Chains A and B, each alone.
Chain A
Amino acid sequence: MNRLPAFRGRQHPTLVISAALEAVSPLPGIVKLLAVANKDSQDVHQVLNELKNKFQEMRKLISAMPGISVSPEQQQQQLQNLREQVRTKNELLQKYKSLCMFEIPKE
């Protein structure tokens, strides 16, 4: 059974999880199941349990992954909005910091 790699603290959690998920696929478990299908029922039960646990772990991991509660298009829109906010607020601050407040209007 494929084990999930240990968490390496220096890497971003998303990257660690992504590496784990990329390495995990239900297909190897299913292939193993096919391999033991004609053997003893005890081996089959064991493989079935492993496959079942793997599916549960993958569900937990998918639920814990950040940033996937929205579609990619929505996320891009949110990212653009945030960048626009930062740009606008930087411009506003720069404008008022460099503005001369004591210009006498010509009457």
Chain B
Amino acid sequence: MAAAAAAAGGGGERSSTRERLLAALEDLELLARELIEILAISRNQKLPQPGEESQILELLIQRDGEFQELMKLAVDQGKIHHEMQLLEKVVEKRDNDIQQLQKQLKEAEHILATAVYQAKEKLKSIEKARKGAISSEEIIKYAHRISASNAVCAPLTWVPGDPRRPYPTDLEMRSGLLGQMNNPSTNGVNGHLPGDALAAGRLPDVLAPQYPWQSSDMSMNMLPPNHSNDFMLEPPGHNKENEDDVEVMSTDSSSSSSDSD
């Protein structure tokens, strides 16, 4: 019994403190029962057995000492357990902080990625524009040709009742290529549609339709003749007004020279 108690009380380092405490308590209880039985037997038989009683008492005292040591150890472990609980709370708070930081970094990454993507797209556009660069002179020339037809702005001299329109009128269409094709007897020398020339931004002088109200001065061919002059059915005496219109539209002759090449 003593050997079993010692073996059980050894406990080993692997068993928990609670198991060791309960084992020690169990041993104490067994020893106490053993002692009570011996006392009962000796009382009934009235035979003193001091040897066995003293042995059990010694074991009891020894086991109680071990029990008290284990109790002290349990108290220390309780304090450490309290400290561990505090540390676990700190760890939990740090985990929350890290998660919050992670969310913010993720959001920042998304914003930056969007900004970088847009910047790259803009750089691509800039590069594309550089490759297809057009001189400003040509753009201004083209703008003059487009605006010379009075499609974007009425002439300065336009008044209500003026037959001029921002689109080709019936007379102009009839005097154009299609009209010439249907009426080969007309005095047109051009075989091209004025609209095509307008779309191309130029109308060769040779092929320009000759209208009564147009200026006879072909040297002023800075703009398509049929669009640069006054379209009113007026006597040639108004050519000066047409020239004024041309001058207003194009103050710089070099900038709006026609590409009749």
B13 touches A86 (CB 8 A): no
Residue count of chain B within 8 Å CB distance of chain A: 46
Which chain A residue has the least Cβ–Cβ distance from B112? A101
A85 touches B91 (CB 8 A): yes
B60 touches A27 (CB 8 A): yes
Asked whether B231 is an interface residue with its Cβ less than 8 Å from the other chain, the reply is no
Asked whether B174 is an interface residue with its Cβ less than 8 Å from the other chain, the reply is no
* CA gap between A29 and B84 in the complex, in Å: 36
* A16-59 vs B, Cβ < 8 Å mask (1 yes, 0 no): 01100110011101100110011000000000100100010011
A62 touches B22 (CB 8 A): yes
B18 touches A69 (CB 8 A): yes
Asked whether A82 is an interface residue with its Cβ less than 8 Å from the other chain, the reply is yes
Say yes or no: A30-B60 contact (C-beta < 8 A), given A12-B82, A75-B81.
yes
Which chain B residue has the least Cβ–Cβ distance from A27? B64
Say yes or no: A18-B15 contact (C-beta < 8 A), given A25-B68, A37-B43.
no
Secondary structure dominating the interface of B: helix
A43 to chain B, nearest CB (A): 13
Q: Which residues of B contact A (CB under 8 A)?
A: 13-18, 21-22, 25, 28-29, 32, 35-36, 39, 43, 60-61, 64, 67-68, 71-84, 87-88, 90-91, 94-95, 97-98, 101, 105, 108
Q: Which residues of A contact B (CB under 8 A)?
A: 12, 14-15, 17-18, 21-22, 25-27, 29-30, 33-34, 37-38, 48, 51, 55, 58-59, 62-63, 65-76, 78-79, 82-83, 85-86, 89-90, 92-93, 96-97, 101
